Amino acid sequence: MAFEQKYDAATREAATARVLERRATNPKDRHVFMVVADEFGVGQQSLRAWVAAATPESDKPARKKQRPRFSAVVTTKVAPDDEPAAASDEIEAVADPEIPVSRSAMTPDKDPAPADTKVTALEAEAADLRRGNDALKAAMRLLLDA
């Protein structure tokens, strides 16, 4: 049994012509497909497909550039260490050979305390979020058991 088309060619052509006519008179009308589909008793998606097939590429409305779904990823580039080799040799010569010393430990940080406060603040926030999740889970258990 061959596939039978639900709508005849005359209905397709008339509905397509009606959509194109309404678009020409009022291009900002957002309900064209709904109104014409109801008028001819056809499905909106069928009508959209017919109009897309009948409309040449040059007549189609230009699509706006779509916004990205997520914000752009921020990348940070770290500049290479430009210290001369002699300075690192002096640091290693002064340091006790028993204690491992890294270059970052020998260079003075601008403000080492904020890193510790940031970590403790983040840990406190994580604990608070865990407590909130536990409360939500308990509430869901009560609602689902009732």
Eight-class DSSP state of 28: T
H or E, element range at 139? helix 113-145
**Distance between CA 51 and CA 45 in Å, rounded?**
10
Residue-level pLDDT at 54: 86
Q: Which of 119, 120, 95, 97 is nearest to 107 (CA)?
A: 95
Residue 15 half-sphere exposure, CB side, CA atoms within 13 Å?
Answer: 28
Residue 39's Cβ-side half-sphere holds a number of Cα atoms within 13 Å equal to 16
C-alpha distances (whole Å) from 141 to each of 10, 31, 43, 44, 129 are: 59, 45, 44, 43, 18
Residue with tokens 């959509």: 19
pLDDT of 144 reads 87
pLDDT at 122: 92
Listed in sequence order, the residues at least 6 apart from 86 whose beta carbon sits closer than 8 Å to its beta carbon are none
8-state DSSP, 77? P
Q: What is the mean pLDDT of each run of 10 residues along the chain (146 residues)?
A: 72 92 88 92 91 75 67 62 52 50 53 77 93 92 84
